[in-house]
Chain A
Amino acid sequence: MTVTDFLRLDLPALLAAILACGSCGLLGSFLLLRRDSLLGDALSHAVLPGIIAGFAITGARAGLPMLLGALAAALLAVFLIGLVRRVARLESGAATGAVFTSFFALGLMLMEATGARSVDLDLDCVLFGQLESVVWLEAQGFGSLLDPVALAALPRQLFLLAAVAVVLAGLVALLWRPLHLLCFDPDYAAAIGLPARGLELALNLMVAAAAVAAFEAVGSILVVAMLVCPAAAIRLLTDSYRAQVLGGAALGAALGALGYALAGPLPAAFGQSFSLNAAGVIGTLGGVTVAGAMLLRQLRNASPKPAIISG
């Protein structure tokens, strides 16, 4: 493989995987700590009708309208989940499940009806993403990394992913402490005058933004895996908030890179000529990581622990 091949075919997809998985891994900790990981699942699916609507209105696969449509759909879904809980008096899991599956199904119908399928915004793309199609054909060698013209031709998913990742990282830093309290004790946050409802909404919108940016590249299944697995694995290994949140992001990004890197060589190592779907490998690694973290924790618990002093 030449440098140019790497820059053209692998670098953009690798960056997309790292950014998508890192963003989801960053926010996954907050969902996990709020015992609300299902919401990540819900939002990553509920955004579909918004994405399709954004596409239908502009008639093109453009990042911003689809992102805005997705955020609107996510807002509506969050609002409806709350409404169903209150009016139908359903427990939160049932209300969440009912709303997001309806939204996802509606999105699939819209996909057929609007002709989005013809520009290959189809079910495969929705579920598994198109990591392999994130390519940079203008690359001519390392020099292209400094060439503004060539850089401008980088796939637009990368720009969206990078912008969303930067904004999310900034927001998490900005809301660092309120989010900590919101996850631990939302009632107390409200009682001492922090805008708990606003923070909750902000967190939900951040998850929706991460989901939709990652969605096109890696697909909804991997979005769910990356919102849950890195955070869950880290949760088993640390009692520090900082290590939890930053570790979740780092592990997500690492899984993205490793999974992408392994997708080609892994079958080759077994003498097979095909290459694996990168999203599939990344998702599988996520599950393996959680299992590994469980084992590590078991081993650690087997060794003596500081005694708990009573009183």
Chain B
Amino acid sequence: MSQSTTTPAPLAITHLTVAYGDKTVLWDITWQAVPGLTAIVGPNGAGKSTLLRAALGLIPSIAGEARFFGRSLDEVRNRVGYLPQRASVDWDFPATALDVVCMSRYPRMRWWGRVPKAEREAARGALDQVGLADLADRQIGRLSGGQQQRVFLARALAQDADLYLMDEPFAAVDAATEQAIIAVLRRVVAAGRSVIAVHHDLSTVPSYFDQVLLLNGRAVAAGAVKSAFTPDAIARAYGGRLNVLEQAVAEGGLQ
């Protein structure tokens, strides 16, 4: 927390409270992300996606605010990338993989006419980074689930941001795709950028991530994985809802 006086945190959330109708989903969250690779972990319904969506202003919050690099989102919009859940869109949509990746650059181009060559090349570069250069012109519905997830990753990368908010980048992908994605995220972080990802699989948190936020409506624990991701904190975040596998991770997986 002391570093906030030197470099502003990529994301700082203060007293954030969010409700859907009369059901409060997030209670008074105050959390400061540090640069690097951060997981947001918690049981279903813990408000993980809601936290990202509220920070991005996609859903209204009752109280609190999110600041990016010490500024409001509007001031630093092009430094913040977003990867929504894959299931949130219709993959039958008439668009190619390249079209979807180009979308991330729309705020930088005129709204009409052809996509400028430089923007198209940037989008191709992002597809190349996730290993999909050969499938650029394929309609997105004809890609496998893992390929679709990588198209979304490429779209986020093409934003060329300093902080990426990712909503379940590993959801429903096979093991090979998961390895490919984590390799890309590590390269992104090695280049001095930050990633905050909603993550479901407790067993891979220690190997994939540096930082963690344990969430269950409230911020249960946060910090370096080594110190904050303790069996006790996990049990508090998951309450009685830990399944057998998660229990095993919580009890012994860290050592």
Taking Cβ atoms with an 8 Å cutoff, the residues of A that contact B are 33, 35, 89, 173-178, 180-181, 183-185, 187-194, 235, 238-241, 243-244, 306, 308-311
- B147 engages A311 (CB within 8 Å): yes
Interface secondary structure of A, over-half rule: helix
Please give 14 more A-B residue pairs, beta carbons under 8 A apart, in addition to A185-B88, A185-B103, A193-B74.
A174-B112, A177-B115, A178-B106, A180-B95, A184-B93, A187-B53, A191-B56, A191-B82, A191-B84, A193-B78, A193-B107, A244-B94, A309-B144, A311-B144
Known contacts A192-B106, A194-B106: does B93 contact A187 (CB below 8 Å)? Answer: no
Contact B82 A188 (CB under 8 A): yes
Q: Closest Cβ of chain A: how far from B252's Cβ, in Å?
A: 34
Q: List 18 A-B contacts (CB under 8 A).
A: A89-B21, A177-B109, A177-B112, A177-B115, A180-B95, A180-B103, A183-B93, A184-B90, A184-B95, A187-B53, A188-B82, A189-B103, A191-B82, A192-B104, A192-B107, A309-B147, A310-B174, A311-B174
Show the binding face of B for A, using Cβ within 8 Å.
21, 53, 56-58, 74, 77-78, 80, 82, 84, 88-90, 93-95, 99-100, 103-104, 106-107, 109, 111-113, 115, 135, 139, 141-144, 146-147, 155, 159, 174, 176-177
A33-B94, A191-B56, A238-B94 given; A311·B106 CB < 8 A: no
Q: How far is the CA of A212 from the CA of B90 in the complex (A)?
A: 30
Q: How far is the CA of A33 from the CA of B95 in the complex (A)?
A: 11
Contact of A33 among B78, B93, B103 (CB under 8 A): B93
Q: How far apart are the CA atoms of A189 and B159 in the complex, in Å?
A: 12
Partner of B103 from A174, A184, A187 at Cβ < 8 Å: A184
Are A310 and B53 touching (Cβ within 8 A)? no
A88 to B214, CA, bound (A): 34
Known: A180-B103, A185-B88, A188-B103. A239 touches B94 (CB 8 A): yes
Complex CA distance for A20 and B139, rounded to whole angstroms: 32
